[in-house]
């Protein structure tokens, strides 16, 4: 287990073991926690990819769902919108389950578990990724670095020189971890150009859909239709090609949001309710992005900014926690213990600045 992840698990276990999670679960019961997942996998092992952090082992997801079903009230995003519209109170300790990107594993591995526990969820799909050969750009970079036979490359990006060693699996993973944040800084047009250049330099062709590792595969529209028709799963929008919207110009930003909406409406026969911003950090979407999402008819949008939803939260900037890596992290997140810790830290910093 990587050191950073190890310390996260210890911190979460301490919050749960100290009783803080049980205390905050009562004190902060009125807030809603949104959890953001991506894909699932059978087991971590060798998935044929470098970055497995987006794909939670199915056993971990099952444990989190068992915790949600026994100690929390999982509601749908539509329930949250209804409560806002009519000013009604949501159940205490409410949580919303979401998935981003649109992986086949959402249908194959997560959906059976959600059905078993009777839990609703929202799946935010990248419409150009579904059922086609258009891979997500970060998948292409992962496979290029993972499959190249070049032992090293020197890369200039954002005024920096990166020497990337590519012999061992660990070196390839470290290179990916250094390269991805640099790529995210580029404009959308430059990013796609850069990804093509990386593939060319590394001598790796963009894999076809049939050559994709199982864990990276998108769901089909038939899978999305079946889940949507069940009434248990909402299929929401996540753009058409997964750019970071704040790095797009106005024309491209509009096209990404409206094409995504139109594709979902054509395939599922109904307007999607909500949207999730790719990457979702504070700098990854703008006021213009939020206005366009609203203009397209979406009624809410999720960010990836950590936090919990209360009466004051903007519906077009809903805070959301990422995938819990352990059951302790799930409990520390869902109970509000992390939020309380964050509040304490901010209070301490404020008090120190006044000294």
Q: What residues make contact with Zn ion under the rule CB under 5 A?
A: 100-101, 278
Q: Compare residues 31 and 256 and give the one whose CB is closer to Zn ion.
A: 256
Q: How far is the CB of 150 from Zn ion (least distance, A)?
A: 28
Q: Compare residues 278 and 336 and give the one whose CB is closer to Zn ion.
A: 278
Q: How far apart are CA 165 and CA 172, in angstroms?
A: 7
Q: How far is the CB of 252 from Zn ion (least distance, A)?
A: 17
Q: How far is the CB of 295 from Zn ion (least distance, A)?
A: 22
Q: Compare residues 28 and 217 and give the one whose CB is closer to Zn ion.
A: 217
Q: Compare residues 101 and 256 and give the one whose CB is closer to Zn ion.
A: 101
Asked whether 228 and 120 are in contact (CB, 8 A), the reply is no
What is the Cβ-side half-sphere exposure of residue 146, based on CA atoms within 13 angstroms?
19
Q: Compare residues 303 and 333 and give the one whose CB is closer to Zn ion.
A: 303
Strands (E), the chain: 32-37, 39-41, 55-57, 73-74, 94-101, 121-125, 152-157, 160-165, 233-237, 274-276, 300-302
List Cβ<8 Å contacts ≥24 apart for 74-77.
74/119, 74/120, 75/32, 75/120, 76/120, 76/121, 76/122, 76/234, 77/122, 77/234, 77/236, 77/273, 77/274, 77/300
Q: Compare residues 79 and 100 and give the one whose CB is closer to Zn ion.
A: 100
Q: How far is the CB of 39 from Zn ion (least distance, A)?
A: 10
For Zn ion, the nearest residue by Cβ is: 100
Q: How far is the CB of 239 from Zn ion (least distance, A)?
A: 8
Q: How far is the CB of 242 from Zn ion (least distance, A)?
A: 6
Asked whether 129 and 136 are in contact (CB, 8 A), the reply is yes
């Amino acid at each position: 287990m990587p050191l950073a992840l190890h310390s996260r698990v210890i911190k979460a276990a301490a919050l749960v073991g100290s009783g803080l999670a049980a205390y905050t679960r009562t004190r902060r019961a009125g807030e809603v926690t949104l959890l953001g997942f991506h894909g699932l996998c059978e087991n971590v092992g060798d998935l044929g990819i470098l970055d497995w952090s987006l794909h939670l082992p199915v056993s971990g997801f099952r444990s989190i769902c068992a915790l949600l079903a026994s100690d929390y009230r999982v509601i749908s995003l539509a329930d949250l919108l209804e409560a806002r519209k009519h000013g009604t109170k949501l159940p205490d300790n409410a949580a919303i389950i979401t998935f981003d990107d649109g992986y086949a594993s959402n249908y194959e591995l997560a959906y059976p578990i959600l059905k078993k526990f009777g839990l609703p969820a929202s799946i935010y799909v990248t419409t150009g990724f579904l059922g086609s050969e258009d891979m997500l750009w970060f998948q292409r970079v992962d496979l290029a670095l993972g499959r190249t036979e070049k032992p090293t490359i020197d890369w200039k990006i954002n005024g920096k020189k990166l020497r990337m060693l590519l012999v061992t699996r660990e070196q390839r993973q470290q290179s990916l971890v250094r390269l991805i944040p640099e790529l995210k800084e580029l404009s959308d047009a430059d990013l796609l150009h850069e990804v093509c250049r990386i593939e060319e330099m590394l001598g790796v062709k963009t894999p076809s859909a049939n050559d994709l590792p199982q864990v990276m595969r998108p769901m089909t529209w038939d899978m999305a239709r079946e889940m949507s028709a069940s009434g248990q799963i909402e299929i929401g929008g996540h753009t058409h090609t997964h750019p970071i919207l704040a790095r797009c110009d106005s024309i491209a930003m509009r096209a990404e949001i409206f094409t995504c909406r139109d594709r979902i409406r054509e395939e599922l026969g109904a307007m999607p309710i909500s949207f999730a911003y790719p990457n979702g950090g504070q700098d990854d979407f703008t006021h213009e992005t939020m206005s366009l999402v609203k203009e397209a008819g979406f009624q809410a949008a999720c960010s990836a900014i950590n936090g919990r939803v209360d009466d004051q939260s903007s519906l077009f900037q809903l805070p959301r926690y990422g995938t819990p890596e352990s059951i302790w992290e799930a409990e520390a997140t869902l109970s509000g213990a992390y939020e309380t810790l964050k509040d304490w830290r901010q209070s301490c910093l404020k008090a120190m600045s006044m000294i």
